[in-house]
Structure 1
Amino acid sequence: MTGTTAMDERRARATLSRAVEPGDEHAGRWLRRHGATGFLDRLLHHTADSAGTSGDEPFPGTGSKRVASWRLRATAADPDRDLDTIQELGGRFLVPGDTEWPRQLDDLGDARPLGLWVRGPADLRTWALRSVALVGARACTPYGAHTAADLATGLARQGWVVVSGAAYGIDGAAHRGALAAAGATVAVLACGVDTPYPRGHDQLIRRIAEQGLVVGELPPDSHPTPSRFILRNRVIAALTRGTVVIEAQHRSGSLVTARAAARLGRHTMGVPGPVTSALSAGVHELLRGDATLVTDAEEVIELVGDMGQLAPARRGPVLPRDLLAPATAHILEAVPARGPTPTTVIARRAGTGPDDTLAKLYELHSLGFVERHGEGWQLTNTATDASNARRGGT
């Protein structure tokens, strides 16, 4: 609208955050067409005539009940009070176009948040550029909680921001893991940022607001609903470079987050669990699709990080015999486990000449793998233990 200021737009979006449920694409379409102030003006001042002709409808194609609900809530909203409340909390209300607005949220299209209510000292846009979502079951197992905390700690120590939903279970473990490493973490709430939920995480959410960021689409003093939890997950998915699911049943909000991430072109990852655990069934379902199996922070960073940030190669422990030259190791394998054995027998077992065998046996003797008893050779205790370990013995 002509003469509209940035403050007018911010106040209009603050009003609409009370009037419109998160992720409402009908509202998003009209917001894109008219802007926040234009949308609000049509909502509050433009009504259909007595005949109800479609040409006089403020939002053609949008159901009258939906529009009536928007209007009722918008009329009751007090944006100045909400903006004052967030300011008193030391926070702010971010809207598209702000320097701190994370532009990757624009990938949500008409489901993009109207704005974000934010508490905490950090810059959300900067933090989101290097962030990973860790999500999972509320009623998680000790294995899941340990894995989430360990992943979060590893990511935080390598400069990555851990994003989750502050719920019980995996979410809480992820936030605590990041905080314990003096790292960065963001809690995305399905309620007002001044209304800690769940109540049992009041202190955790307060701590996140001090060391990290607490973010929500809903204005102060808003309470969560089941649908708001589901819709909140799209923000977690869009905000981050990738989503890791740690324990989830087949019907789980965490899977909603992962699928939203996949639709947005983000990385989706899963941590495997026991095949007998129902809490791992949803993760395994993801892994049977396009999700990538990960087991630690390095493997997550290999996917979401810069080119060349590869996880270290995985292998078992390096044994002393692994460092032997192939020909020398071949002779060692030919030495029987029990009793002194003549050089000629060892050579025949190895398929080599006696002279070459004798030279290698003395080399192995100097390295502590074999010892000589009269005319025969036998393994030392160290070599016997290593041989048993290599073969899976006791």
Structure 2
Amino acid sequence: MTADAERRARAALTRAIEPGDEVGGGWLRRYGAVEVARRLAGTGDPLPGVSARRWTGLRSRAERMSPEADLALARGAGIRFLCPGDPEWPAQLDDLGDARPIGLWVRGTPDLRLWALRSVAVVGARACTEYGAHVAAGLAADLAARGWIVVSGGAYGIDGAAHRGTLGRGGATVAVLACGLDRTYPPGHRALLDRIAEQGLLVGELPPGDHPTARRFVLRNRVIAALTRGTVVVEAAVRSGALATARRAGRLGRAVMGVPGPVTSALSEGVHELLRDQAVLVNDAAEVIELVGAMGELAPPRRGHVVPRDLLASAAEQVLAVLPARGARHPRDIARAAATTEDEAIGRLYELHSLGFVERHGDGWQLTRRMRDGPDRARHGA
């Protein structure tokens, strides 16, 4: 058996066997692609594990097998066909076992295996909100800026926002499609998919001309989950293909992450359920990379908004903290409340006065109006 014969047989079988068919995958593992294609073409006994009715259906589909024509059509459209064992084949797809793709049709010039090694899936609802689209685009752009490949499904909504955010930052993105790569689906994403093919990669399991179906979208998600280091879900209803992608990623040992949303939104329900079950909450690209990156790629500590009193020395902050919200206080009482001497308290009060935090009224000291009524005080609970 030659490598060319194996390639032709696998290209042929993408016409006959549906993506993710584990019975078909078992046949490939046991008999090899050439023998499976030969049996389906009508030479030899039926293969085991399926009913006579299903075998007849598979034989009928196999009548469409024409690998030379499909491979020639693909070449003309700038599409190449990858097989397991090829130098460009992403080995992590082998984690799918018998559900591993028979082969992959790829459009675009970069090396899929190398890109997949440093990739993250960003997925979510098609009918997303403005909040979801904004978050997905920003997250993807920041991942791209840090040298990560963003993988999604090319659909409307969160997928499209993630792809556009990446491309807008000049980054690398991969769209995994549920149809032949010479077809445009969804139709409104023609320009986006063409741009992804020019700047990134289009990937699919189906041969040229094949159309998408609801089941093919679901099965496509397993490739997104297996191909990447982790999956981030941005907005998803409780019944969602994005959640299926994330749960498959979890079963494969990949990182599962979710971006929280408003509790009043139905598109937050699926993400929040995922966060309760297995996912890690993430706010930004740094937190995503901390989970999927190399050891030591840690997100910086998160700090709130810095206000002027954050910059005070601890002794001055201690004195400021004991001043009441209303009314003046004698330095003696301030010193006692701050557990310091009266001289120390007076010194700190003059320091705070020069910075605009306090003012003197006779023998007493009180907060300035800005400190009594402003956001700094409310934020710190003084």
TM-score (norm 1): 0.91
After superposition, the Cα gap between the structure-2 partners of 1:339 and 1:276, relative to the gap in structure 1 and judged at 3 Å, is: closer
Deviation of the 1:312 alpha carbon: 1.6
**1:18 is aligned to 2:15:** yes
Deviation of the 1:322 alpha carbon: 2.0
Amino acid at match of 1:156: A
Q: Which residue of the partner structure matches residue 301 of structure 2?
A: 313
Amino acid at match of 1:35: G
Deviation of the 1:252 alpha carbon: 1.0
Deviation of the 1:65 alpha carbon: 2.4
Q: Out of 2, 5, 19, which is 1:5 matched to?
A: 2
Secondary structure of 2:94's match? helix
Question: d(CA) in 2 for partners of 1:96 and 1:135?
Answer: 26
Of 353-362 and 172-181, more deviation after overlay is shown by 353-362
Secondary structure of 1:208's match? helix
Q: Which residue of the partner structure matches residue 43 of structure 1?
A: 40
Contact 2:42–2:59 (CA<8 Å) still a contact in 1? Answer: no
After superposition, the Cα gap between the structure-2 partners of 1:76 and 1:278, relative to the gap in structure 1 and judged at 3 Å, is: same
Deviation of the 1:337 alpha carbon: 4.6
Deviations 1:106-134 (A, max 9, x none): 00111100100000111100000111111
Deviation of the 1:155 alpha carbon: 0.7
Question: d(CA) in 1 for partners of 2:27 and 2:376?
Answer: 73
Q: Which residue of the partner structure matches residue 264 of structure 2?
A: 276
Secondary structure of 1:243's match? strand
Q: Which residue of the partner structure matches residue 159 of structure 1?
A: 147
Deviations 1:222-277 (A, max 9, x none): 00011111111100100001111111111111111111111111111111112221
Secondary structure of 1:76's match? coil
Question: d(CA) in 2 for partners of 1:27 and 1:344?
Answer: 86
Question: d(CA) in 2 for partners of 1:200 and 1:156?
Answer: 24
State how many pairs are aligned.
381
Deviation of the 1:102 alpha carbon: 0.4
Q: For residues 242-391 of structure 1, what are the structure 2 equivalents within 5 Å?
A: 242-338=230-326, 341-372=329-360, 374-380=362-368, 383-384=371-372, 385=374, 387-391=376-380
Contact 1:243–1:258 (CA<8 Å) still a contact in 2? Answer: yes
Deviations 1:321-356 (A, max 9, x none): 223232221112233455654322433443433222
Q: What percentage of aligned pairs have identical amino acids?
A: 65
Contact 1:118–1:214 (CA<8 Å) still a contact in 2? Answer: yes
Deviation of the 1:91 alpha carbon: 2.1
Structure 2 gaps, min length 5: none
Deviations 1:10-35 (A, max 9, x none): 11111100011101111110111111
Amino acid at match of 2:220: R
Deviations 1:182-216 (A, max 9, x none): 11110000000010101111111111101110010
Amino acid at match of 1:19: A
Secondary structure of 1:98's match? coil
Question: d(CA) in 1 for partners of 2:255 and 2:344?
Answer: 55
Of 346-355 and 165-174, more deviation after overlay is shown by 346-355
Deviation of the 1:150 alpha carbon: 1.0
Q: Out of 97, 116, 124, which is 2:85 matched to?
A: 97
Secondary structure of 1:145's match? helix
Of 192-201 and 356-365, more deviation after overlay is shown by 356-365
Q: Which residue of the partner structure matches residue 111 of structure 1?
A: 99
Q: Which residue of the partner structure matches residue 34 of structure 1?
A: 31
Contact 1:156–1:178 (CA<8 Å) still a contact in 2? Answer: yes
Structure 1 gaps, min length 5: 48-56
Q: Which residue of the partner structure matches residue 208 of structure 1?
A: 196
Of 115-124 and 273-282, more deviation after overlay is shown by 273-282
Question: d(CA) in 2 for partners of 1:331 and 1:373?
Answer: 17
TM-score (norm 2): 0.94
After superposition, the Cα gap between the structure-2 partners of 1:359 and 1:177, relative to the gap in structure 1 and judged at 3 Å, is: same
Q: Which residue of the partner structure matches residue 178 of structure 1?
A: 166
**1:136 is aligned to 2:124:** yes
Contact 1:83–1:93 (CA<8 Å) still a contact in 2? Answer: yes
Question: d(CA) in 2 for partners of 1:387 and 1:260?
Answer: 46
What's the Cα RMSD here? 1.9
Question: d(CA) in 1 for partners of 2:235 and 2:365?
Answer: 54
After superposition, the Cα gap between the structure-2 partners of 1:369 and 1:305, relative to the gap in structure 1 and judged at 3 Å, is: same
Question: d(CA) in 1 for partners of 2:81 and 2:50?
Answer: 28
Question: d(CA) in 1 for partners of 2:329 and 2:375?
Answer: 19
After superposition, the Cα gap between the structure-2 partners of 1:333 and 1:42, relative to the gap in structure 1 and judged at 3 Å, is: same
Deviations 1:120-172 (A, max 9, x none): 11110000011111111111111111111111111111111111111111111
Deviation of the 1:378 alpha carbon: 3.7
Secondary structure of 1:299's match? helix
Q: Which residue of the partner structure matches residue 241 of structure 1?
A: 229
Deviation of the 1:371 alpha carbon: 4.2
Deviation of the 1:95 alpha carbon: 0.5
Deviation of the 1:359 alpha carbon: 2.4
Question: d(CA) in 2 for partners of 1:91 and 1:387?
Answer: 59
Question: d(CA) in 1 for partners of 2:380 and 2:309?
Answer: 13
Contact 1:19–1:69 (CA<8 Å) still a contact in 2? Answer: no
After superposition, the Cα gap between the structure-2 partners of 1:284 and 1:348, relative to the gap in structure 1 and judged at 3 Å, is: same
Deviation of the 1:284 alpha carbon: 1.1
